[in-house]
Amino acid sequence: MFLEKNTEIQRFSAFQSFQTVMQGGHHTHKIRWLSAGLVIICIALLAPWTQNIRSKGSVSTLDPQQRPQEVNTMIPGRIVKWYVQDGSMVQKGDTLLEITEIKDDYLDPQLTQRTAEQLNSKNAATLFYKDKAATTNRQLAALQQSLEFKLKQINNKVKQYALQVQSDSISMNAAANLFNISQGQLKRQKELYNSGLKSLTEYEQRQQYYQDAMAKRISAENKFYSSKNELLNIKLELSAASQDYTEKISKVSGERFVALSQIAIGEGEVSKLRNQLYNYQARQGFHYIIAPQSGQVLQNIKAGIGETVKDGEQLLTIVPIQFKKAIEIYIDPNDLPLIHPDQLVRIQFDGFPAIVFSGWPKASYGLFNGKIAAIDNRIDASGKFKVWVTPKEDYRKWPETVRFGTGCQVIALLNNVPVGYELWRQLNGFPPDFYKKVISAKDQSVKKK
């Protein structure tokens, strides 16, 4: 069999292709190239690779006052004149357009003046009622003083007649005692006269004394009862005077309360008219639409003159030229744990040339640095979290010509791993190796020691 094999080799050796294939030096050259390729592949697989997260974003700003703002009308009206056009540059406070009223309640050109006249009239009426209230206060004070004097006067008379009644009572008792004495003397005188011991003249004199005593007693009783009756009359006068003055004071108090009520009503109407006047004056200021910020006018919704607009309707948009640039990107929830504030990111702006090697950031060209400024705690409708990126100009400044809404690519740099490990991770769909180990307080204290 060996002889047969040698015979076959000798038969094919006559061909040139057989001789070229079977040359030993050629096989050695291929083996060398294959070995070199394997070595290069191994070295490439062991080369360092920076893990990263890529996301598309757009240029914006963190300050809401510097974002594009819609300019709306506060009141319904009709456009009278435009002062700007699309693309115009305006400063804060510039007049954009003028509108006029279309409601019947505000068509009067002298509306604010007439409302001011009504306000002045109502103020004057309120002042009149205040004067009336002040007059009633003075009347009340005078009536209170008169009542006090009157009561003092009548009380003095009451005391005077009370003493008079007491004096008359004493006089009446004295006259009654004198009468009793005269009556006893007359009785004894009569007995003596009947016995013949006294003369008729003496008896008649005694009768005269008796009649005088009776007259004095009757006069004293009349005077006592008259004084007592006068005291009752004075007390009735005191009650009548008090009631009379109470009625007068009540009447004046009623007029005072009416005046105060009118004052309160007038002040309420004055406040209402002041509010209306202020609203009318403020409404006149809404006839001119003013630029809320400096920027460029875009997207005029209404065109021409004579078009009507509703209250709150958008008229145009102003985009600021100068603003603090920031980038808003959206991160998948699977990558969110790998993002943290102040983390370094690399940015490629649309329209600016760049050579990007995401795994070798030092070899990239045309990229700009940024840092994570804020991360939203709420997921949006697309199922992602919004992340804000601000400039980190330690490497190079962001381009001045980047405008609001410019698109960009953001690359968040993570951990450095071998290329082979990154390929294995990508093939298996594992997350990047960037979870940080939480250091406990005990470990920190040991580390400090």
Q: How far apart are CA 100 and CA 107, in angstroms?
A: 9
Q: Tell me, what DSSP letter sits at residue 54?
A: E
Tell me the CB-side half-sphere exposure of residue 327, using CA atoms within 13 A. 31
Task: Let me know how many helices (H) and strands (E) the chain has, helices first.
Answer: 7, 14
Residues 6+ apart with CB under 8 A from 115: 273, 276, 277, 280
Find where tokens 């875009």 sit: 298
Query: In 10 A of CB 202, how many CB atoms?
Result: 13
**Backbone angles phi and psi of 353, in degrees to 5:** -60, 140
Residues 6+ apart with CB under 8 A from 92: 291, 292, 293, 294
Q: How far apart are CA 53 and CA 295, in angstroms?
A: 35
Q: How far apart are CA 339 and CA 269, in angstroms?
A: 62
Q: How far apart are CA 18 and CA 2, in angstroms?
A: 20
Find where tokens 């309420």 sit: 268
Q: How far apart are CA 326 and CA 43, in angstroms?
A: 40
- Return the H-helix or E-strand segment holding 189: helix 111-195
Q: How far apart are CA 293 and CA 72, in angstroms?
A: 13
Block mean pLDDT (10 aa), the chain, length 449: 55 60 57 76 70 83 86 88 88 90 83 86 87 85 83 80 79 80 77 74 76 80 81 81 83 85 87 88 87 85 80 87 88 82 86 65 70 89 90 81 87 72 68 54 50
The b/e string for 315-349 (b: 16+ C-beta within 10 A; e otherwise) is bbbbbbeebebbbbbbbeeebbebbeeebebbbbb
Q: How far apart are CA 111 and CA 90, in angstroms?
A: 32
Spatial contact of 122 and 135, defined as CB atoms under 8 Å apart: no
Spatial contact of 437 and 93, defined as CB atoms under 8 Å apart: no
Spatial contact of 51 and 430, defined as CB atoms under 8 Å apart: no
**SS3 labels along 267-309:** HHHHHHHHHHHHHHHHHHHCCEEECCCCEEEECCCCCCCCCEE
Spatial contact of 310 and 383, defined as CB atoms under 8 Å apart: no
Smallest Cα–Cα separation from 90: which of 319, 301, 300, 288?
319
Beta-ladder partners of 374: 388
What was the pLDDT predicted at 449?
Answer: 47
Find where tokens 């920190």 sit: 444
What was the pLDDT predicted at 10?
Answer: 58
The single-letter code of the amino acid at 43 is I
Residues 6+ apart with CB under 8 A from 277: 112, 115, 116, 119
Smallest Cα–Cα separation from 331: which of 372, 364, 360?
372
What was the pLDDT predicted at 327?
Answer: 92
Find where tokens 């002041």 sit: 274
What was the pLDDT predicted at 438?
Answer: 45
Spatial contact of 419 and 45, defined as CB atoms under 8 Å apart: yes
